[in-house]
Structure 1
């Protein structure tokens, strides 16, 4: 009765407040909002699924202070903090082997913040990073009740939906390159490279032929979207993940009998030429430029590669000037704008185009927060990759091939993210911190399953 009266009172006050506000039309939505909060309180993992599903659509809310992912995130933080205070969550939910390297990284980050050359700019960078840290905290707490197959589904389908938009409409392209609902083709390629291993796992583990064909179609749609991005880094990352995936599934490849080999070769003879022929001519030209790198970078012929080379020059000088604490989080664009490279590679009139990020998360962190902080961030990434590897090994040891495949494909998604960080500045990317949080849980869960199995034998 007390809880009911309290909720009723809150609902009445909320409705009255909205009626007196400039947005009285939102008053009826208060009932649905409270119902949603109640559902999240009972099933916090649904909130993380919602955040993962909404990330590719954040471009729809560009310029808005309130987005679906932000509202879900704030609600989740409040709910989980309350549940921790009321001791409604088991203490083992907080177990994760990434807390120590993460704490050391944040210590190095805060030291760099204290000595920053541009304190207000660094505070803005800290606010952005805090979003990723909050997502990591949410993931660690709800991972035990999270449906990982559903996570793969929502990520694959949401990214595939933006791929379909980009392929169907030029409105979702910039300069002929697909960007989905984002502003940069390479960031869109990152989402595709991250979602492709998940959709491939769903296709491999589908229970029926129609479901398998459906997820195969989703995977092909993702690959088609990748070719439309014209992203060279995306191609390199996808090929690397494909080779690792084939190595993991090599036992299945051995099951191909000699009588099936003819059909495999026939399919390859048909689909490989069709796939190569469907590649846009501009994309083929960009891929060829990677082969020509051994003869050096010509900034006049390829301004993109020239800009990336200039980022390395500026970042290296920043590291030499401040090797321990860096120049301060978020200060790379200020240093770059002060060089001649900024004007030489400026594509637009005005000063805003001069302030460019490093387009390399590792270089950016080494130059902004110093060598110790950069090494600790790299350690976080390596710990995450090691966690997925150990989860795969423990699952195979216990005979759970499905969990081993899941750990492998989620690890490939995380590897795609880790490799893409060499081409993009995205230390606060929510998918990065979600996968980091999941890596520790998957390892602990797989090792616990293996231990229980060994004790029962």
Structure 2
């Protein structure tokens, strides 16, 4: 009763203040906001789903101090803090085997920050990384309340929607490469690579052919978006994860009869040539340029030469500061001081000298030192292992649907982990959300009284 009166008084005061302000038209939004908070309080899992769905659209709010994702995240954090204080959520939810790798990583991060060569830059990078760490805690607390199939639907649909926008609007392309609603084609390719496994899962598990065709169309849209990004690493990562996913479904090949083999070979003979023919000529030329790696000649491909220069600079930084690194976020400063920066600048009128390593592992090893880099690698390996153990546990219990979900979410994390070899994104929201989800799923799968996952049919 007291809480209701306090909430009502707070609501009335907020409305009166807005009515007396220069923005009286915002007063009704207070009621809407309070209703949203009440709904989020009851369904905290929806908040995490909303954050995941909004990640592909973050580019729309890059210049805004307030955005839907920030407002949703702040509200979710406040609600969870209140629930922890009121003991409505047990601290046992924070238990995770990932702490064995995360705590050393945080310790190395703190020590590197103390001895950073540029404290201001390191603090700015730490602020960006802190968002991912907060989402890790949030996901550990409410991960069991998340509808995993809905997560797969929102991830596939939100990324596919940005693919459609990028395919048909030159505004969201740079130099002919699709960037979606982001600022870089490779970041966009990362989102697509993570969305392909959930889209394939939804296409495989649907029993009604119209829905199966719909999710197959979503998958094809994602693949079309990948080709438009001209990302060679993105295509390789997608093919790699699809090949590993096929191993999970190898038992289904036993259903094939000799009479079906001819149809399968006929379908492959049609689909493979059509897929190759559908690839843009420029994209095929970029993929063929990877043959330069065998010969050791990078001069014909500026991108490969630039990535080689990152390895040279990063290796030098590791040799100079092997234990604590040079400080978080300082790789671009070191790179700008070398001749590579001006030599590989894409615009000589306005040289872009401060470039990241385009390799998360190289960047962390050079900025945090070898112990910090090894802790980050261990964290990712443990996350992948968690998905694998969850899959095995559910298979032993005969829960094939749950095992499929764990497999495809694990493939999304695997796609991200491999993609980090070609991209600097240690603060990526999906990275920390999926790491925490891996721990939550493993605990659910290995629990003695594990209940089957119930899908909320929409």
Q: Which TM-score band applies after superposition, normalised by the shorter structure?
A: over 0.9
The answer to whether the 8 Å contact 1:394/1:450 transfers is no
CA root-mean-square deviation: 1.5
- 1:129-208 mapped onto 2 (5 Å cutoff): 129-208=129-208
For 1:57, the equivalent position in structure 2 comes to: 57
Matching of residue 30 in structure 1 with residue 30 in structure 2? yes
- 1:186-335 mapped onto 2 (5 Å cutoff): 186-299=186-299, 301-335=300-334
Partner secondary structure for residue 439 of structure 1: helix
The alpha-carbon deviation at position 351 of structure 1 amounts to 6.1
For 1:373, the equivalent position in structure 2 comes to: 372
Partner secondary structure for residue 27 of structure 1: helix
For 2:110, the equivalent position in structure 1 comes to: 110
- 1:435-454 mapped onto 2 (5 Å cutoff): 435-449=434-448
Cα separation, 1, equivalents of 2:165 and 2:419: 23
The alpha-carbon deviation at position 172 of structure 1 amounts to 1.3
For 2:73, the equivalent position in structure 1 comes to: 73
The answer to whether the 8 Å contact 2:53/2:158 transfers is yes
TM-score normalised over the length of structure 2: 0.96
Partner secondary structure for residue 93 of structure 2: helix
- Structure 1 residues 451 and 403: alpha-carbon distance in aligned structure 2, compared to 1, 3 A threshold: closer
1:47-88 deviation per Cα after TM superposition (whole angstroms, max 9, x unaligned): 000000011011111211111111111111111011001100
Partner secondary structure for residue 428 of structure 1: coil
The alpha-carbon deviation at position 11 of structure 1 amounts to 1.3
The answer to whether the 8 Å contact 1:133/1:433 transfers is yes
For 2:127, the equivalent position in structure 1 comes to: 127
For 2:383, the equivalent position in structure 1 comes to: 384
For 2:96, the equivalent position in structure 1 comes to: 96
The alpha-carbon deviation at position 231 of structure 1 amounts to 0.4
For 1:48, the equivalent position in structure 2 comes to: 48
- Structure 1 residues 43 and 212: alpha-carbon distance in aligned structure 2, compared to 1, 3 A threshold: same
Cα separation, 2, equivalents of 1:422 and 1:135: 23
The alpha-carbon deviation at position 15 of structure 1 amounts to 2.2
Partner secondary structure for residue 18 of structure 2: helix
The alpha-carbon deviation at position 298 of structure 1 amounts to 2.1
Cα separation, 2, equivalents of 1:428 and 1:22: 38
For 1:425, the equivalent position in structure 2 comes to: 424
Cα separation, 2, equivalents of 1:123 and 1:95: 28
1:354-388 deviation per Cα after TM superposition (whole angstroms, max 9, x unaligned): 10011100000000011100000001001101101
Matching of residue 408 in structure 1 with residue 386 in structure 2? no
The answer to whether the 8 Å contact 1:398/1:450 transfers is no
Cα separation, 2, equivalents of 1:16 and 1:312: 59
Cα separation, 2, equivalents of 1:375 and 1:422: 14
Cα separation, 2, equivalents of 1:293 and 1:30: 59
The alpha-carbon deviation at position 22 of structure 1 amounts to 4.8
- Structure 1 residues 350 and 437: alpha-carbon distance in aligned structure 2, compared to 1, 3 A threshold: farther
TM-score normalised over the length of structure 1: 0.96
The answer to whether the 8 Å contact 1:398/1:449 transfers is no
For 2:397, the equivalent position in structure 1 comes to: 398
Cα separation, 2, equivalents of 1:246 and 1:289: 28
The alpha-carbon deviation at position 352 of structure 1 amounts to 6.5
Cα separation, 1, equivalents of 2:164 and 2:379: 34
The alpha-carbon deviation at position 115 of structure 1 amounts to 0.3
For 1:5, the equivalent position in structure 2 comes to: 5
The alpha-carbon deviation at position 106 of structure 1 amounts to 0.5
Contiguous gaps of at least 5 residues in structure 1: none
Range with greater deviation from structure 2 (9-18 or 49-58) = 9-18
Cα separation, 2, equivalents of 1:102 and 1:86: 27
Partner secondary structure for residue 28 of structure 1: helix
Cα separation, 2, equivalents of 1:352 and 1:84: 50
The alpha-carbon deviation at position 262 of structure 1 amounts to 1.9
The answer to whether the 8 Å contact 2:44/2:142 transfers is yes
The alpha-carbon deviation at position 24 of structure 1 amounts to 3.6
The answer to whether the 8 Å contact 1:297/1:305 transfers is no
The alpha-carbon deviation at position 255 of structure 1 amounts to 1.5
The answer to whether the 8 Å contact 2:357/2:424 transfers is yes
- Structure 1 residues 376 and 252: alpha-carbon distance in aligned structure 2, compared to 1, 3 A threshold: same
The alpha-carbon deviation at position 26 of structure 1 amounts to 2.2
